[in-house]
Amino acid sequence: MISSLKNFTFNIIIPTINIDNLLVNCVKYCLLQSYKDYIINVVADNDSNSNKLYDLPNINDIAIIVSTVKNVNISTKRNIGANKSNCKYLAFIDSDAYPQNNWL
């Protein structure tokens, strides 16, 4: 979770149905970004496997937030993540995508 309430430059928003292996790999690659002023916001139907995300190697102490919503489509999840953000920039990625380390 977030250790302080500072404003981050980027909010990586990842809409998903479940916290599965595809999402875990996506977050793993997001944690390897060369740019370090960002948070990761996963918007999922449930958070039953969120420990898989928090157990990932996170040497830069990047905040991972799991927001849960029920019965909404992926685009609505993107909007929910965007509306909760106070970051300067929003970065959207699908849970089955793996960004390069210079994506941000």
Q: Is the dihedral of CA 77, 100, 54, 58 positive or negative?
A: negative
pTM here is: 0.91
* Under 8 Å between Cβ of 53 and 42: yes
Paired tokens of 63: 């905040």
Low-confidence ranges of the chain (pLDDT < 70): 1-6
Residue type for position 85: S
What pLDDT does residue 1 have? 42
- Looking up tokens 């909404």 gives 72
What pLDDT does residue 13 have? 97
